[in-house]
């Protein structure tokens, strides 16, 4: 469908169409017959369009890993003025983490929800890095960002040359226009915008806030299910891909903002980058509704590892080790018998960044709010706060089945050790009293043998001495 008014962003339809599937080879055309038949780059494309390939992997990657798409557009994306450093510079974006721009700390960190700015701020200006590891230049690593915005992008598009964006909106709906079409993304959904795609973000509901994981050098995929079998967790058919949609006409002064090596550059052109009339391939933006996730859980005893809640994973060359996992903690039943049901106290060789989209989190009775975040780095101990622990053991073995409802927490987990940016450590939203949530944990040690100690239990509850 063509945009009738090329001078402004077109209204999104309330019922956008999507294609379904994960990792499929898709094809879509906004005008019938726009896709070439039998070849990718004919001498003259249908409708006088230009053929342009976008590659997400090297040309010689194994077929099962190779990602690329062919776009058929009114004008090619190369038609722009030279890139120049964006002025003023964006000082809070990082894509190469070292001692000069970030710090290492094993301390448990937590942030309160960041306030939406009062001054006009779009998605690009409201984006800043919290922590990360590795380097986009070396094509290995990740970065975690927060975004806060209160205005739509105007006559401009953003392109991330450093890596893929996994965006987790927490507040406010996003209308995202991409070269493959349009996506509506609400809190409770996620969207993946692959490296190199140009996109624009509009805010139909006003102010928006959310989290972003950026991945350098690889792409997200569905985790293997192993002994779970053929079904469960995130189903491929629930991932949604846009259909072709284009803008035509003159757009004087249109700005492409490109993130390259963590720095922003701009280039001017006189047309919209969303002029793709047809496309086909498997390198595409896509979204997923987290409520579609089919969780698995313990049905007899003990608390399962959080890996059973993995939605997407970016693997490393080492089997079973992730550059980054995206894990969720959705509504579900707890039924384990004679078991401490919240997450166990833990030290992990992986590093864990957590966020909360809505509701509360089962292991933190107080202080962890929607829009907030926490970071527990490699081998830093963490687990339920004092209030959660005491409330759990007070129930004893008579707790019965319990449904965790009205919540959606998530975790970005990585094998790399993150360094934290100075503005995150100095943030007014840093919770400097986070450590206090564990200080109240007291000894319940009885000094008796196991058999004697069992005699001092009534209905699974310890007798006060």
For residues 182 and 123, what is the distance between their CA atoms, to the nearest angstrom? 16
- State yes or no: 72 annotated in a binding site: no
| 361 annotated as a binding-site residue | yes
- Residue corresponding to tokens 């805010």: 203
CA torsion sign for 457, 462, 464, 465 is positive
The three-point CA angle 446-452-454 to 5° equals 85
Distances (CA, A) of 81 to 77, 84, 265, 441: 11, 9, 12, 62
Measured CA distances, 240 to 133, 166, 210 (Å): 30, 14, 20
The annotation status of 288 as a binding-site residue, yes or no, is no
The enclosing H or E element of 18 equals: strand 18-20
To the question of whether residue 382 is assigned a binding role by annotation, the answer is: yes
CA 115, distance to chain mean position in Å, is: 20
Backbone angles phi, psi at 164, to 5 degrees: -80, 145
In this structure, what is the dihedral angle of CA atoms 136, 259, 183, 234, given to the nearest 10 degrees?
10
Q: Which two tokens stand for residue 54?
A: 């976008």
Cis amide linkage into residue 71, ω under 30° from 0: no
Q: Give me 14's structure tokens.
A: 């309330």
Tokens representing 327 are 């894990």
| 237: three-class secondary structure by DSSP | helix
Question: Residue for token digits 């579900």?
Answer: 332
Sole residue written with tokens 């192993």: 226
How far apart, in whole angstroms, are the C-alpha atoms of residue 221 and residue 15?
27
Q: Which residue numbers are catalytic?
A: 303
Of 225, 221, 186, nearest to 203 (Cα)? 186
DSSP string, 370-416: TT-EEEE-TT--B---HHHHHHHHHHGGG---EEE-S-EEEEEEESS
Binding site feature residues for Fe cation = 352, 382
Binding site feature residues for homogentisate = 346, 361, 382
């Amino acid at each position: 469908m063509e945009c009738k008014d090329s001078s402004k962003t077109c209204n999104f339809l309330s019922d956008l169409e999507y294609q379904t599937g994960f990792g499929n080879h898709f094809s879509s055309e906004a005008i019938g017959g726009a896709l070439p038949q039998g070849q990718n780059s004919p001498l003259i494309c249908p409708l006088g369009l230009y053929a342009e390939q976008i590659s997400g992997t090297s040309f010689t990657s194994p077929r099962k890993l190779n990602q690329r798409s062919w776009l058929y557009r009114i004008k090619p994306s190369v038609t722009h003025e030279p890139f120049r450093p964006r002025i003023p510079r964006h000082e809070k974006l990082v894509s190469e983490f070292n001692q000069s721009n970030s710090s290492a700390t094993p301390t448990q960190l937590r942030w309160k929800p960041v306030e939406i700015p009062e001054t006009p701020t779009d998605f690009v200006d409201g984006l800043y890095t919290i922590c990360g590891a590795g380097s986009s230049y070396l094509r290995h690593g990740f970065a975690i960002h927060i975004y806060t915005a209160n205005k739509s992008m105007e006559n401009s598009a953003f392109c991330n040359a450093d890596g893929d964006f996994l965006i987790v909106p927490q507040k406010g709906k996003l209308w995202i226009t991409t070269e493959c079409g349009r996506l509506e993304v609400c809190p409770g959904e996620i969207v993946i915008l692959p490296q190199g795609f140009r996109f624009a973000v509009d805010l139909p509901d006003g102010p928006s806030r959310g989290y972003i994981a950026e991945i350098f050098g690889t792409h997200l995929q569905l985790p293997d299910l192993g002994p779970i079998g053929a079904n469960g967790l995130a189903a491929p058919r629930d991932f949604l891909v846009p259909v072709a949609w284009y803008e035509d006409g003159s757009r004087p002064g249109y700005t492409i903002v490109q993130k390259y090596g963590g720095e922003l550059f701009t280039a001017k052109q006189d047309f919209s980058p969303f002029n793709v009339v047809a496309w086909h391939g498997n390198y595409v933006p896509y979204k997923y509704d987290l409520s579609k996730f089919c969780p698995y859980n313990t049905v007899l005893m003990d608390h399962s590892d959080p890996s059973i809640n993995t939605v997407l994973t970016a693997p490393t060359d080492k089997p079973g080790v992730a550059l980054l996992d995206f894990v969720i903690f959705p509504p579900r039943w707890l039924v384990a018998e004679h078991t401490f049901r919240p997450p166990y106290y833990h030290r992990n060789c992986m590093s864990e960044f957590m966020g909360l989209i809505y509701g509360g989190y089962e292991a933190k009775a107080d202080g962890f709010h929607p829009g907030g975040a926490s970071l527990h780095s490699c081998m830093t101990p963490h687990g339920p706060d004092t209030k959660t622990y005491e409330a759990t053991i007070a129930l004893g073995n008579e707790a019965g089945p319990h449904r965790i409802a009205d919540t959606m927490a998530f975790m970005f987990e990585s094998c790399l050790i993150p360094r934290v940016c100075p503005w995150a450590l100095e943030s007014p939203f840093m919770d400097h009293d986070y450590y206090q949530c564990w200080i109240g944990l007291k000894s319940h040690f009885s000094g008796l043998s196991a058999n004697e100690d069992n005699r001092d239990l009534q209905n699974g509850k310890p007798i006060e001495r």
